[in-house]
Amino acid sequence: MEKRIRSSLCLPHAPVIRSYASIAGQKEGDGPMGDCFDRVEQDAYFGETTWERAESRMQADVLTRALEKGELPPAALDCIVAGDLINQCTSSTFAMRSLHVPFLGVYGACSTMAESLLLSSLLVDGGFCRNAAAVTSSHFSTAERQFRFPLSYGGQRTPTSQWTCTAAGAVVVSAEGTGVRVRGGCIGKIVDYGISDANNMGAAMAPAAADTIFRYLQDTGTAPEDYDCVVTGDLGNIGSSLLLELLRAQGVNLAVQHRDCGAMMFDEHSQDTHAGGSGCGCAASLLCGHFLPQLERGEIRRMLFAATGALLSPMSAQQGESIPCISHLVALTAEGVE
Amino acid sequence: MEKRIRSSLCLPHAPVIRSYASIAGQKEGDGPMGDCFDRVEQDAYFGETTWERAESRMQADVLTRALEKGELPPAALDCIVAGDLINQCTSSTFAMRSLHVPFLGVYGACSTMAESLLLSSLLVDGGFCRNAAAVTSSHFSTAERQFRFPLSYGGQRTPTSQWTCTAAGAVVVSAEGTGVRVRGGCIGKIVDYGISDANNMGAAMAPAAADTIFRYLQDTGTAPEDYDCVVTGDLGNIGSSLLLELLRAQGVNLAVQHRDCGAMMFDEHSQDTHAGGSGCGCAASLLCGHFLPQLERGEIRRMLFAATGALLSPMSAQQGESIPCISHLVALTAEGVE
């Protein structure tokens, strides 16, 4: 079996998703997906003294929960692949420092769940790890403080803006066992359509998702109908419409199979979240809370997971730069499905 | 051949380093290693209008140079693995956005050259990429602005502080060909000895380097005498002494084989750099400017490259957190050496 088809990857050993867990904050718990998470935490501080420590705590807790569900001690992990939105990825590194597990830090903004899951799967499929974990998180308050305004400033949000989810997800990928399998993937290319409005990231990210999904379908000779769903990370309502439009222009109709975690997370009208949810934790928590359980129960059999990231920084926005974006894709199947 | 020995990795196909390049700034060019770089740039702006754009330009240029030396077009790369110190890794993402090559962003602070080279090598060895590039950079002025004080403030530097190098390195790893080979590696664990002085990062990072080097030697049943050199990234003078001391306490004498890129980069006395050089570009540019050519010429035959990263952020320092650190290791041999 070829491991590469043009720019897409096939995983001949189809690593198994041994376990996974999700945590979400109160607002996410109050939303339409609120019942799917392993834990909904009412305290935005997660028992810590700063929001940054809260996000690290959430990330440590979600990995611990995934390990418990997989009946593995931390020492059984050959590698943790993790990242987050916060400067120098401290949510991840501070979360993982007590575990003494080999650690690969990644930065893919809100595409991190797909990047870390793809990398974990490649390390397992390549025989370099027996068990590897992919972990990420985001926190509304750490992200607002860093990327936008002090919360107490009470800035008016634009109609295109999205709401950074307080949420986290962790997936343990293993060489052995049965369950949901990682069949392939596609490493994203950086796509920049020249959008420089940091309050319209869905629009900025849609071309990256379109590029990756289109390449994967082309490379593998498959069509949207071959999947039960094709899931993007946090395009939100505006970005989702653009994605469908961009793909339609290339002859691909994704309207039936497309789901977007950002559009699913909140009730736009009652929760005042504008264009939808965002943040690494948005796609991560719905992958682990909603889609992986559906795959495990066989309610969906084949899915593509393409989280998207906007690779901007506050400084790049201040300097008037446009927003480079990326989308990594992971192909998942239910047990027994080729 | 086993791909894992406890927590270390062996690469059965021993991917080849097809080409590499280095760029350094004027101060680095004026130092004792100044003759080894492919290019020394006098203009701190690299022809751009901001330091951030300068760093991106440097990173794009160093990869272009490495591709030219390897006679490869960008399209021959199946993946670029890159990262840097700047918030949201924009030096890397902005540098690579025009290339349309699959991109994996990593964050390992100053360990990035080792992390990206190890990951590239694993992707090639595992059959997922034919050619992959590992790239990183640092820039004195972008780092000072972000991590310390505005340059015009003219803050007094402590004796233990290090000087962030303006420098970059790129390595192209290939499945086929002859040359220097990547034989193995070790993914770092996060180590935190509780040091919270952000002006003494060499001391903070030394335990992480000691942990990784000790694990690799133990796992592979080798000793320092089996290598011509064991190279750390940017421990500087103070961190280097600590590394030797920590390893001596574990029965390993690294004094003869140890080299540290941070200690090599500047003339401490005439260049006023205090404890040495630092930054992702420090280890990257000396790997590509000094050590890989030595391996290629057979002047050294076996070497371990263990770059180190301090995983702090300005906010974590302000919040009084200690500094988690990491060191990833790559084992390299000259052509024809097992």
Q: Smallest Cβ distance to B313: which of A88, A189, A311?
A: A88
Residue B278 phi/psi, 5° resolution? Answer: -155, -175
CB distance A311 to A109 below 8 Å = yes
Average pLDDT for residues B216-240, to the nearest whole number?
A: 97
pLDDT of residue A198: 86
pLDDT digits (tens, 9 = 90+) for A107-158: 999 999 999 999 999 999 999 999 999 999 999 999 998 998 878 887 888 8
Q: What CA–CA distance (Å, rounded) separates B140 from B137?
A: 10
For B320, counting Cβ atoms within 10 Å of its Cβ (0-12 exposed, 13-18 middle, 19+ buried), the class is exposed
Q: What CA–CA distance (Å, rounded) separates A125 from A329?
A: 16
CB distance B161 to B202 below 8 Å = no
Average pLDDT for residues B54-72, to the nearest whole number?
A: 98
Residue A6 token pair: 């043009």
Residue A199 has pLDDT above 90, yes or no: no
pLDDT of residue B150: 79
Decide if B102 touches A, using CB distance below 8 A: yes
Shortest Cα distance, chain B CAs vs residue A316, angstroms:
8
Query: Is the ipTM above a cut-off of 0.95?
Result: yes
Q: What CA–CA distance (Å, rounded) separates B323 from A338?
A: 46
Question: Do B128 and A126 make contact, defined as CB atoms within 8 angstroms?
Answer: yes
Residue B59 token pair: 């990173």
Q: Which residues of B touch A101 (CB under 8 A)?
A: 189
Q: According to DSSP H, which parts of A50-99 are helical? A: 51-69, 90-96
Residue A1 has pLDDT above 80, yes or no: no
Beta bridge partners of B305: B231, B330
Above pLDDT 70, what percent of chain B?
100
Question: Do A313 and B90 make contact, defined as CB atoms within 8 angstroms?
Answer: yes
Read off the DSSP letter of residue A182: E
Could you give the count of Cα atoms lying within 13 Å of A136 in the half-sphere of its Cβ? 37
Confidence of residue B226 (pLDDT cuts 50, 70, 90): very high
pLDDT of residue B194: 93
Question: Do A128 and B128 make contact, defined as CB atoms within 8 angstroms?
Answer: no
Mean pLDDT of chain A: 96
Shortest Cα distance, chain A CAs vs residue B194, angstroms:
11
- Four-residue CA torsion sign, A261, A267, A273, A274: positive
Among A4, A93, A111, A123, pick the best mutation site for testing chain B contact (most B Cβ within 10 A): A93
pLDDT of residue A240: 97
**pLDDT greater at residue A81 or residue A274:** A81
Residue A188 token pair: 């994203």
Instruction: Work out the angle at residue B42's Cα, subtended by the Cα atoms of residues B41 and B45, and round it to the nearest 5 degrees.
Output: 85
Q: Which residues of A touch B127 (CB under 8 A)?
A: 3-4, 126
Among the ranges given (A206-220, B26-40, B59-73, B154-168), the one the predictor scored with the smallest mean pLDDT: B154-168
> pTM for the complete prediction?
0.98
Question: Do A52 and B315 make contact, defined as CB atoms within 8 angstroms?
Answer: yes
Residues 69-98 of B with CB under 8 A from A: 78-79, 83, 85-90, 93-94, 96-97
The amino acid sitting at A113 is M
Confidence of residue B268 (pLDDT cuts 50, 70, 90): confident
Question: Do B187 and A115 make contact, defined as CB atoms within 8 angstroms?
Answer: no
pLDDT of residue A155: 81
Residue A293 phi/psi, 5° resolution? Answer: -60, -40
Q: Which residues of A touch B115 (CB under 8 A)?
A: 104-105
Is residue B170 helix, strand or coil?
A: strand
The helix or strand, by DSSP H or E, that contains position A327, with its residue range, turns out to be: strand A325-333
Chain A residue with Cα closest to B191: A97
Average pLDDT for residues B315-330, to the nearest whole number?
A: 95
